[in-house]
Chains A and B, each alone.
Chain A
């Protein structure tokens, strides 16, 4: 079951914050976040394994609500380099080794 990401696209000015949400109808074991720039391979940002746990990566952090099967990616004080498409990948309980990605959120950061 493909997770649902929202919003589909967001445009920011440098320095602004953004939140990208990822929701699944299935019980999840883990949530993975990746960023892909145009013409490049996806790059790993972080993995969340426990409910409510937050992970950080520079000014990018994320949370995982295990009970709601939801994860959110927080980008604070955005930089031009944050532009790209963000994908969440979910691993369902009992379906190990299979990462199902959402359709992505296109983030554009303008000067």
Chain B
């Protein structure tokens, strides 16, 4: 059974640019959550999607957005990148809620 796949693994972007990250959940999982991980703040919840609907979101500015497709794959977009957006972005999929969540390896975003 394939795990959660995130692409790309690494990204370097310039301030002001925008970026799109992709997450393919485990087959059969319809819930996808996104987290930002930084050394100082730990894992911070961005948003959660289920069957193409955003069911909850964290306290991030509107520059952070996401969507989910009919095949449960999800993307998150960050516009007008700032240096502080540099972080590891993790997505996790689960079959139900509350349930075990499976994390991907993450996308390491560096903003210069």
A interface residue numbers (CB < 8 A to B): 2, 29-30, 32, 34, 40-44, 47, 49, 87, 89, 91, 95-104
Contact = CB atoms under 8 A, between A and B. Distances in A.
Interface of B: 4, 31, 33, 35, 41-45, 48, 50, 55-58, 90, 92, 97-106
B97 A97 contact: yes
B101 A44 contact: yes
Contacts of A91: 98
A101 B50 contact: no
Contact of A100 (B31, B45, B57, B101): B45
Given A41-B103, A43-B103, A104 B42 contact: yes
Contacts of A89: 43
Given A43-B103, A44-B101, A49-B98, A96 B41 contact: no
A102 B41 CA distance: 9
Given A34-B103, A95-B56, A104-B42, 10 more contacts: A43-B103, A47-B100, A49-B98, A96-B56, A97-B31, A98-B48, A100-B45, A101-B44, A102-B42, A104-B43
15 contacts: A30-B98, A41-B4, A41-B104, A47-B100, A95-B56, A96-B56, A97-B31, A97-B33, A97-B55, A98-B56, A98-B57, A98-B58, A101-B35, A101-B43, A103-B42
Contacts of A101: 35, 42-45
